[in-house]
Amino acid sequence: MGTESFMQLAIEEARKSKTPFGAVIVKDNQVVQRSGNTVQPDNDPTCHAEVNALRQLTKRLGNASLSQGYTLYTTCEPCAMCAATCLWAGVQTIIFGVGADDFADTNPNMINIRCEEVFRRSPKAYSIEGGLLLEECKQLHDDFPIEDL
């Protein structure tokens, strides 16, 4: 599988959760975890797709810290909470579809702290790339408006 295939899986997770937010974690070119956003059904504001995927994976592995080599694919740029969770869990690479600037006007809850800014403040090495399948990820915001969450 390639990067676009992994992002397509994240898009599928977003659609399953009926939100614009889906995430897939990959290691050694294999999907190890998938999740969508469950904030509303779980009545938990921390149940973002990225956090859900990390919770499920670390629970299954029995370790809160991931070893090297994990990549998170997510339909939207991680918020500050999700970025910090990725950092603390040991995710070194984040690849997202829609950047915060692309959907700030459609997300009334957006905090203007970019994912890159959170990672820059850490001594850990990281890689962040945005814009993968941008149009498909933007479409999720039209299909599942934030105010409906």
Structure-block tokens of residue 74: 């997510």
Q: Which of 4, 12, 13, 50 is catalytic?
A: 50
The tens digit of pLDDT for each residue in 2-31 reads: 999 999 999 999 999 999 999 999 999 999
Digit-coded pLDDT (tens) for 48-82: 999 999 999 999 999 999 988 999 999 999 999 99
Average pLDDT over residues 109-133: 89
Say what the pLDDT of residue 149 is. Answer: 45
pTM score, two decimals? Answer: 0.93
Our answer to whether residue 50 is catalytic in this structure is: yes
